[in-house]
Amino acid sequence: MEEVIEQLREMNEPVPVPLELPDEETLVEIQEQILIHLPYGLREFLLQVSDVVYGRLEPVTAADPQSHTYLPEVASMAWSLGVPRELVPICEDRGNYYCVEEDGTVLLWEGETGELNEDETWESVWHWVRDIWLES
């Protein structure tokens, strides 16, 4: 995890209005809004690197309710499209959603079929960051 965080920090792209990191209280408020517990790996991701901007993928953020990547908004959209309600989306990618299960496993929900792709899974958010986001 530390290695992935270091790599993300090195790759962070400068932007006119930098993103902010949330605090624990903000994450509690988000959990109350979406009515689902944030898996540990996702919480760590949001607290430590959700301010990173890199590549074409834009993972969810938790500090700015006005952002198009704000977790409650992304979740609401994903769930309205058919993503299972027990999954928490971490990133939208061309109509597909990468989502986290309660145990921390990341899955890919494909918008075209409206189903989970059983062949696309990652052990944790950090594995997804390494294999997908950093490679985008």
pLDDT digits (tens, 9 = 90+) for 63-111: 999 999 999 999 999 999 999 999 999 999 999 999 999 999 999 999 9
Ordered by start, the domain boundaries in the chain are: 2-133
CA separation, residue 98 to residues 16, 18, 62, 107 (Å): 27, 24, 16, 6
Instruction: Say what the pTM is.
Output: 0.96
**DSSP-assigned letter for residue 57:** -
Residue 22, C-beta contacts closer than 8 angstroms, at least 6 positions apart = 30, 46, 47, 50, 61, 62, 63
Banded pLDDT at 136 (limits 50, 70, 90): confident
Mean pLDDT estimate for the chain:
97
**Cβ contact 103:94 at 8 Å:** no
Whether the pLDDT of residue 47 is over 90: the answer is: yes
CATH architecture of 2-133: 3-Layer(aba) Sandwich (3.40)
